[in-house]
Amino acid sequence: MADFDLAGRVAMVTGASRGIGRGIALELARAGASVAVTARRVGDLAGTVREIEAAGSRALAVVLEVRDRASIRAAADAVGAALGPVDVLVNNAGVQRLRHALDVTEEDWDFVLDTNLRGLFFCCQEIGRRMVERGRGKIVNVSSAAGMIPSAERAAYASSKAAVLMLTRVLAVEWAARGVTVNAVAPTFVETELAAQTLDRPGAREATLARIPLRRLATVEDVAAAVRYLASPAADYLTGTTIGVDGGLVMR
């Protein structure tokens, strides 16, 4: 029987103050994990911490700026000291700036790529190094269907998410023999504040739904369920894999 239980495990979720990250953190807590949640401002995590504790799990709020390597190292140390070594890392922190390619500034590009790709890599490196030393661990990276299908106004965002997919595979190859699996999820539009930047435009929601075979947007719970699977013993034989939580969008 498949084992989706995470009792006794320590999980760390970046960008967990709201939306997908918050939902993932709560799902891992329901699976039995102690969960460290991070954000740029620790005060933004209060609601997530309350939900995790209400689910009966231990929670830890940690400040983390993924663009700052010293902050990444300090966060990893704080989690290790308070909860123990990280068994599951979920790299969810991400940003986007909707711009036509001709209007993307150097600051736009750097902000998006430094958060979504550079920051994700150094979180993988910092926690991954500790996992490799222990001989076990699971990393789940949150990419996007935008990393597979081109979409206007997302030159920086789509580039970062496409790179995350390849980075996931590279790390999976390097660390497989050391007991560490690295996988990804790639959602389509999810009902969050971030997606609303696009979906609230006139006609955008209808046009998006018309492209998705299942004719609905993803929910936070859909994404969280896929992450729980990849984080669990049920997925022990998966590495370098991307689960498309996209209602069939990418196959069109």
Q: What is the pLDDT of residues 118-173, one digit of tens each?
A: 999 999 999 999 999 999 999 999 999 999 999 899 999 999 999 999 999 999 99
* 2 located within any domain: no
pLDDT (average), residues 35-39: 98
* 214 located within any domain: no
CA distance 61 to 84: 14
Please say if 157 is a catalytic residue.
yes
C-alpha dihedral, 56 to 62 to 68 to 72, nearest 10°: -60
State the total domains in the chain.
1
pLDDT tier for residue 203 given thresholds of 50, 70 and 90: confident
The answer for residues whose C-beta is within 8 angstroms of residue 168's C-beta and 6 or more apart is 141, 143, 182, 183, 184, 240, 242
b (16+ CB within 10 A) / e for 92-127 = bbbbbbebeeeebeeebbebbbbbbbbbbbbbbebb
Which segment of 44-58, 144-158, 182-196 scores lowest on mean pLDDT? 182-196
pLDDT (average), residues 4-11: 98
CATH number, domain containing residue 74 = 3.40.50.720
CA distance 135 to 11: 16
* 212 located within any domain: no
Collapsed DSSP state (helix, strand, coil) of residue 58: coil
Nearest to 4 by CA among 226, 202, 245, 246: 226
* 247 located within any domain: no
Query: Count of residues for the chain?
Result: 252
* Cα-based distances in Å from 224 to 6, 35, 117, 185, 198: 14, 14, 21, 10, 22
* 136 located within any domain: yes
Model pTM?
A: 0.96
Taking the CA atoms of 228, 218, 170 and 155 in sequence, report the sign of the dihedral they define.
negative
Can you read off the two tokens belonging to residue 89?
Answer: 């890392």
Among 121, 122, 157, 175, the active-site one is 157
Which pLDDT does position 218 carry in this prediction? 95
CA distance 60 to 181: 24
| pLDDT averaged over every residue in the chain | 96
Residue ranges making up the domain that contains 137: 10-192+220-238
pLDDT (average), residues 68-96: 98
* 231 located within any domain: yes
| CA end-to-end distance (rounded Å), the chain | 33
* 156 located within any domain: yes
pLDDT tier for residue 65 given thresholds of 50, 70 and 90: very high
pLDDT greater than 80 at residue 2: no
* 246 located within any domain: no
pLDDT greater than 80 at residue 105: yes
* Cα-based distances in Å from 212 to 36, 151, 189, 246: 34, 14, 10, 8
